Structure 1
């Protein structure tokens, strides 16, 4: 008999909807804001909301010795990720961007291999090769030809940056907890992005109410609530369970972009997306097999 954990299921729904909607929200926000101002304002709104959360929960402050690492993670996981993604979406559709970001398991597997000696079986490399074919098709469908256009390249950089954040944060998650550590890194990223604060007031005054609403939405829901939901899933069921949400996010992103922005993906983008997700799924299957083998070896 299948036992449904309602809280875990609800958290998955929140992650899929809010992260899926982020790509359309960015495209809409870019109609009134530059990529760097959109990223800064989004993080600033999220940071303010997190201050209230920190006060209400009496969140502890991080140790001074951990601040350099926290700032590095904030820079990579939020400042670089969100800014590169925003610049990339100037030329790449919301749906295609979500597919490219979904390649993060490829980078996570490669980083685990390079830095932690984790095994990557044939499924991983086969899946990575298939995903590269899909990425080139998405690039072509986005107008970049069969090379990697600048928009596609920037979104892949965003995916790599986010992957580094997820791979190396484990010790600090264990030390501080997922929610406090996420808050620390978002605050750190906001400080970095404040370098682009100049001219923001003029953009806010000139932007349409819709673009400003999209930015506020991005700051509160995809940036804060979705990260809290994924942290809850990770804490309750592990990283593998949390990763399951990522495979449905592109589907939600395509549907939301169609309803919100009227974006209709090209056939080549859809084909490339299916191929990419097949490749990424193979890498996930490889990771699951490796985990099961390691567990069997420990038991033996």
Structure 2
């Protein structure tokens, strides 16, 4: 039992730490690479690493009938998501970008309600409103109301694209397993990005070593390792509980961005981040838990009046 607890702590630490470090890593890569070439380079590194893993483990390939759907999900969750995120980070700081991406669970809940009739309760609506208010505080805190606002909208679109990937992936995870599905999806996301291959070699020649190594790091670690860690945690506690720890990522990303690339967060960005994360967490508060919080509170007030 203790061994599993230690492994859970290590896995969660890998997820939070590596995904938090991805945001300043993107900013470092954007110093010498265009957003499209950065996304392609990152996915190529991740795809090659996963290809070696697939050969080594003799991974089962997907059925032909499932390839179009899996590749389309890969396009949304990796190609489009990373491209939009990179474009957004041209005018939005790494820490703020990580905070905006935490709206993906809210989009996922809304899409699940729309397509699969999953109940979207009172707490989820309130949490959504709180998070949207937090996003507005983040936008206000950036200081640049033209380009920064555009960057914020683009990153929110990236979060929405990723949420579609999240909502429609379960049937394929159940059929193939989490790790094989992610591998196929990353390959599917890499293929359409090959249209940006011309010019990548020239950027690699002219880019600084720091920018290139940052992208290699992004492709090899944040694109691959956290997904394996998440798969392990999910096998123990389930997907919903496994992903809850990821809401710590934005706070850690602000710190890493401060240390790595010198981005000092302003007060309103920090405040908006706290509000946004609070709203996302609120969406997962169950109705009976709300009753435990609210009923004693109002009962005590009524008792005081009597």
- Place the TM-score, normalised by the shorter chain, in its bin: over 0.9
- TM-score norm. by structure 1 comes to 0.92
Aligned counterparts of 2:147 and 2:195: Cα–Cα separation in 1: 33
Aligned counterparts of 1:180 and 1:118: Cα–Cα separation in 2: 27
Q: CA deviation at 1:120?
A: 1.4
In structure 1, what is the equivalent of residue 273 of structure 2?
273
Aligned counterparts of 1:39 and 1:78: Cα–Cα separation in 2: 9
Unaligned runs of 5+ in 2: 291-306
Count of matched residue pairs: 290
Q: CA deviation at 1:68?
A: 0.6
Moved over 2 A (4+): 1-4, 143-148, 286-290
Q: Could you tell me whether the CA contact under 8 Å between 1:75 and 1:192 is conserved in 2? A: yes
- TM-score norm. by structure 2 comes to 0.91
In structure 1, what is the equivalent of residue 179 of structure 2?
179
In structure 2, what is the equivalent of residue 206 of structure 1?
206
Q: CA deviation at 1:286?
A: 4.0
Q: List per-residue Cα deviations over 1:38-60 (Å, max 9, x = no partner).
A: 00000000000011100110001
Q: Quickly say closer, same or farther: Cα 1:271–1:8, change in 2 above 3 A.
A: same
In structure 2, what is the equivalent of residue 104 of structure 1?
104
In structure 1, what is the equivalent of residue 298 of structure 2?
none
Q: Is residue 63 of structure 2 the alignment partner of residue 63 of structure 1?
A: yes
Q: CA deviation at 1:237?
A: 1.4
In structure 2, what is the equivalent of residue 293 of structure 1?
none
Q: CA deviation at 1:146?
A: 9.9
Q: CA deviation at 1:235?
A: 2.2
Correspondences of 1:14-29 after superposition (within 5 Å): 14-29=14-29
Q: Could you tell me whether the CA contact under 8 Å between 1:127 and 1:283 is conserved in 2? A: yes
Q: Could you tell me whether the CA contact under 8 Å between 2:88 and 2:151 is conserved in 1? A: yes
In structure 2, what is the equivalent of residue 136 of structure 1?
136
Q: Could you tell me whether the CA contact under 8 Å between 2:91 and 2:147 is conserved in 1? A: no
Q: CA deviation at 1:217?
A: 0.2
Q: CA deviation at 1:281?
A: 1.0
What RMSD, in angstroms, separates the aligned Cα atoms of the two structures? 2.0
Q: CA deviation at 1:236?
A: 2.2
Report SS of the residue matched to 1:188.
helix
In structure 1, what is the equivalent of residue 89 of structure 2?
89
Correspondences of 1:96-245 after superposition (within 5 Å): 96-145=96-145, 149-245=149-245
Aligned counterparts of 2:2 and 2:102: Cα–Cα separation in 1: 28
Q: Quickly say closer, same or farther: Cα 1:275–1:146, change in 2 above 3 A.
A: farther
In structure 2, what is the equivalent of residue 38 of structure 1?
38
